[in-house]
């Protein structure tokens, strides 16, 4: 279990770094959603199902949609 958690945390950190590096904001948003999804998995493994549910529904689902809609209204590429 602890190995799986360590792997998930490494992927999460990589996704978080990728979020700040990507110039294409659509890619950055997807990486950000990956961070939320793994955070929700980790919350579940740490016996916090209430927080895991909120993180999965709001962090991975709704926030991503709102970011995508906001990017469509503004610009996709960071100058």
Tell how many helices (H) and how many strands (E) occur in the chain.
4, 0
Q: Is the torsion defined by CA of 7, 9, 10, 14 positive or negative?
A: positive
Closest contact distance (angstroms) between CB of 73 and another protein is 6
Fill in the per-residue mask, 12 to 51: x = in contact with another protein (CB under 8 A), - = not in contact: -------------------------------------xx-
Q: Are 52 and 44 in contact (CB under 8 A)?
A: yes
Chosen residue from 4, 7, 46, 57 binding another protein by CB under 8 A:
57
Tell me if residue 24 falls in helix, strand or coil.
Answer: strand
Position 71 contacts another protein (CB under 8 A):
no
Joined together, the tokens standing for residue 61 give 């689902």
Closest contact distance (angstroms) between CB of 34 and another protein is 17
Residues lying near another protein in the complex (CB under 8 A) are found at 49-50, 52-54, 57-58, 61-62, 65-66, 69-70, 72-73
């Amino acid at each position: 279990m602890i190995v799986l958690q360590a792997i998930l945390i490494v992927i999460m950190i990589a996704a978080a770094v990728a979020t700040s590096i990507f110039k294409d904001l659509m890619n950055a948003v997807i990486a950000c959603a990956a961070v939320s999804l793994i955070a929700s998995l980790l919350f579940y493994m740490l016996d916090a199902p209430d927080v895991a549910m909120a993180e999965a529904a709001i962090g991975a689902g709704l926030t991503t949609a709102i970011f995508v809609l906001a990017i469509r209204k503004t610009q996709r590429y960071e100058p």
